[in-house]
Structure 1
Amino acid sequence: MSEQLPEGAWVLTGDEIDALDARWASCWTPGEVARRLDGIAAPWCVAAGWALDLFRGTQTRPHGDIEIAVPAARFPEVRARFPGFRLDAVGTGRIWEDAGPEALAATHQTWLRDAATGDYLLDVFREPHDGDTWICRHHPAIRLPYDDIIRRTPDGIPYLVPELVLLFKAKHARPKDQADFDRTLPHMTAVQRGTLADLIARAHPGHRWLADL
């Protein structure tokens, strides 16, 4: 993320952050997102907590929003699917409504907003990449082909592999992240556990999850 933040942002206070939860109450499901992005050429996938539920094959907890990831340079392909909606850039406790190029360049996160209701429906991560190779934004030395990090449910919904979802969750390891780790680990193969252990050891040496892997 650029250190030079553009002007025109709405700075979120504590009360405003709490109020945002209500604006996400009608967010889309993974199936709805997949329907709206059907046939798009850009590689994309459901990320975060929903991705783990798609991997496990069942919803295990409520989700306050829905996130997808897409290569940053391919974001215009996603944007083109939502001409009737607003796009707000988000970062560092700020929201740039109807984000222009400068705000998009300074952030990696975009919220899709219903112009009529003000409700947020989808959170899009614009991820760093080198062509068809995904680059971890927190640890750029971690690079993997998109073909290796996206899997699909039986009905075709693409999701980020659990090894990478849990790598991101390991950074903060909040109570919900710990619960996601505990629920997901029994479903992972030995190879997947080994990959996750290697990634966490590289990104977060000494992390407490390593003892369970």
Structure 2
Amino acid sequence: MRTETPWGPWEPPPLPEAVRLLAALRSPWWIAGGYAVELAVGRVFRDHGDIDVLVPRDAQAEVRRALPGWDWWAADPPGTLRPWHPGETLPAAVHDLWCRPGPDEPWRLQFMLDEVDGGDWVFRRDPRVRLPLARLGRRSPEGIPYLAPEVQLLYKSRTRRPKDERDFTEALPVLDDHARAWLAETLALVEGADHPWAARLRTLLPG
């Protein structure tokens, strides 16, 4: 699916091609965004304008080495783009990287840099929310690592665009009680107890 942005068009590769591009990464990585929800659900249910990949912040240099010769830009500050220069360590305020095979090509992948502390993933909007890295992701039957759906829905919970609402509805049946309880409690902590997703999740919990 090709989409237009103020910084040029997005044309993400098919997911299997994206996975092949990421094969050189030694750092942990997870497919994120709507694709992560679809991998959890086990079927395609909507179009996607990009492919998001979550990586630990300290893997940023390795990510760049894995795609040599590509054109890299950083969202710095958020809502804008600027070139990410070779050898530059990005500041903590930068969370998103866009990249493409060359400056005249469409954007292909977006990398999201997240914090890791002592083996734990730390939610960048609220550092009280943490998970061991081993619990952050899942693997598809094909072996594709993807962000756990409850974690991906936490990221989507603030904007709640139509596609986010669709992702929540589709993911809800595949969340077990533990994931539902974690997401409900975490949403109440981060977004407030009256968040509509938290309320819906609570109705599905036993007892």
Is the TM value for this pair above 0.5? yes
Is 1:97 the counterpart of 2:83? The answer is yes
Counterpart for residue 48 of structure 1: 33
**Aligned AA (1:78):** V
Paired residue secondary structure (2:170): helix
The answer to whether the 8 Å contact 1:30/1:46 transfers is no
Deviation at 1:103, TM superposition (A): 7.8
- Residues 21/191 of structure 1: CA separation in 2 closer, same or farther (3 Å cut): farther
Q: 1:74 aligns with which of 59, 79, 87?
A: 59
Give the match for residue 47 of structure 2: 62
Aligned to 1:7: none
Q: 2:44 is aligned with what amino acid?
A: Q
Structure with greater contact order relative to length (CA < 8 Å, sep ≥ 6): 1
Unaligned runs of 5+ in 2: 202-207
Structure 1 length-normalised TM: 0.85
Report the identity percentage.
Answer: 35
2:192 matched to 1:207?
no
Structure 1 distance, partners of 2:6, 2:107, is 9
Match of 2:165 in 1: 178
Q: 1:150 to 1:202 in 2, by over 3 A?
A: same
Aligned-partner Cα distance in 2 for 1:21–1:157: 29
- Cα RMSD for the two superposed structures: 2.0
Shift of 1:40: 2.8
Distance 1:212 1:19 in 2: 34
Number of aligned positions between the proteins: 196
SS in 2 for 1:31: helix
Determine if contact 2:31/2:52 at 8 Å carries over to the other structure: yes
CA distance 1:101–1:128, shift in 2 (3 Å): farther
Give the whole-Å Cα distance in 1 for the aligned partners of 2:181 and 2:79.
35
